[in-house]
Every structure is written in structure tokens, then in C-alpha cells.
């Protein structure tokens, strides 16, 4: 069963990364690299990407003429998707376990980020009714 693990945060929260020291940033990226390698080696990683900075994000709606109306400025409090992991696992518990690992990424001062990770099952194209 496939799950998508969504990591999101507030724009203000994202900006706190800028205060991190070089070694804190390095430790965090090393952690992410390690986890991705682990998930590849366990045969569970399907896809993983980080998303560009929220400052460059745009929200698009179609106008009456079908042309895009672009909205580029977000309120500070809004949650942004920062990155996602798609994993193919044997149980729902395993998906949550990986999400907890992601949430326990290192932060300055020996802390962990405790980022909230949303765990959502990806719908299959299979229909289960056999008989």
C-alpha cells in the first residue's frame, strides 16, 4: 500500500531555518539523506521531493474567460507544503513509523524539529471485488 507523507510548516516556521548554524543545517540534511537511503535500501521509497520556497508560490484560479488570475502573496499564518515522500509499505503502522522518523529530524541544540507530517493513503486503481 502506498502512502504520501506530507511535511508542511508555516512561512514563519520555514524562515527560522535561516537562523540555524552551518553545522545544524548540515546535520539536518545529512539526516534526510540517510533516511532516504534507508528507505531506498528497504525497498519502500517510491518518490521524494522538496518544494521551492513559499515566497515563490502562486495560487491560480481561472477567471470567467478561463484565463489565470494569479495570487502571489500569502498570509503569514498559512501552512505550506514543504516536501513529500511517497512510500510503498506493508502496513499502515509502517507508514506512521516513517512519518515519526521524519518528524524527529535534528534541530539546533540537540532538539528535534517535531514537524507535523500528514500521512495519507494513495488510492489504488485496483478494484478489490473478485467474485
Partner 1 sequence: MRGVIQDGMEHLLRELVPQVLAVLTRRFRDFADAEDAVQEALIAAASQWPESGVPENPRGWLIRVASRRMIDRIRSEEARRERQDEAAAQAVLYTQAPEFDPDHGPELDDTLQLFFLCCHPALTPSSSIALTLRCVGGLTTVEIARAFLVPETTMAQRISRAKASIQAAGARFEPPTQAERRERLSAVLHILYLIFSEGYSASSGPQTQRVELAQEAIRLCRALHVVVPEDPEAAGLLALMLLTDARRFARTGADGEAIPLDEQDRSLWDRSQIQEGVRLLETALSKGAIGTYQLQAAVAALHDEAARAEETDWPQILALYELMMKLAGNPMVALNHAIASAMVHGPQRGLELLQALDSDPRMARHHRLDAVRAHLLEMAHHDAEAVRCYHLAASRTTSLPEQRYLLMRAARLGDQSGAR
Residues in contact with partner 1 by CB under 8 A are 1-2, 40-47, 88, 90, 121, 123-131
Burial of 64 (0-12, 13-18, 19+ CB in 10 A): exposed
To the nearest whole angstrom, how small is the minimum distance from the Cβ of residue 4 to partner 1?
A: 13
**Nearer to partner 1 (CB atom), residue 15 or residue 48:** 48
**Nearer to partner 1 (CB atom), residue 40 or residue 112:** 40
Please tell me the distance from the alpha carbon of residue 40 to that of residue 51, in angstroms, as a whole number: 20
**Nearer to partner 1 (CB atom), residue 2 or residue 28:** 2
To the nearest whole angstrom, how small is the minimum distance from the Cβ of residue 113 to partner 1?
A: 26
To the nearest whole angstrom, how small is the minimum distance from the Cβ of residue 124 to partner 1?
A: 5
To the nearest whole angstrom, how small is the minimum distance from the Cβ of residue 121 to partner 1?
A: 5
Please tell me the distance from the alpha carbon of residue 86 to that of residue 119, in angstroms, as a whole number: 10
Say if strands 2-10 and 117-121 run parallel, antiparallel, or are unpaired.
Answer: antiparallel
Say how many C-beta atoms besides its own lie within 10 A of residue 40's C-beta. 11
Burial of 117 (0-12, 13-18, 19+ CB in 10 A): buried
**Nearer to partner 1 (CB atom), residue 81 or residue 86:** 86
Amino acid at each position: 500500500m502506498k502512502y504520501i507523507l506530507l511535511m508542511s510548516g508555516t512561512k514563519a516556521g520555514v524562515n527560522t531555518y535561516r537562523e540555524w548554524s552551518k553545522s545544524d543545517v548540515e546535520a539536518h540534511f545529512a539526516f534526510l539523506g540517510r533516511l532516504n537511503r534507508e528507505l531506498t535500501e528497504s525497498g519502500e521509497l517510491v518518490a521524494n521531493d522538496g518544494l521551492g520556497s513559499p515566497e515563490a508560490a502562486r495560487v491560480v484560479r481561472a477567471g470567467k474567460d478561463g484565463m489565470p488570475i494569479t495570487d502571489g502573496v500569502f498570509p503569514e499564518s498559512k501552512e505550506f507544503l514543504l516536501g513529500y515522500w511517497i512510500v510503498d509499505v506493508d502496513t499502515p503502522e509502517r507508514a506512521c513509523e516513517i512519518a515519526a522518523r521524519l518528524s524527529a529530524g535534528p534541530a539546533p541544540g540537540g532538539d528535534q524539529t517535531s514537524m507535523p507530517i500528514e500521512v495519507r493513503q494513495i488510492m489504488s486503481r485496483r478494484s478489490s471485488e473478485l467474485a
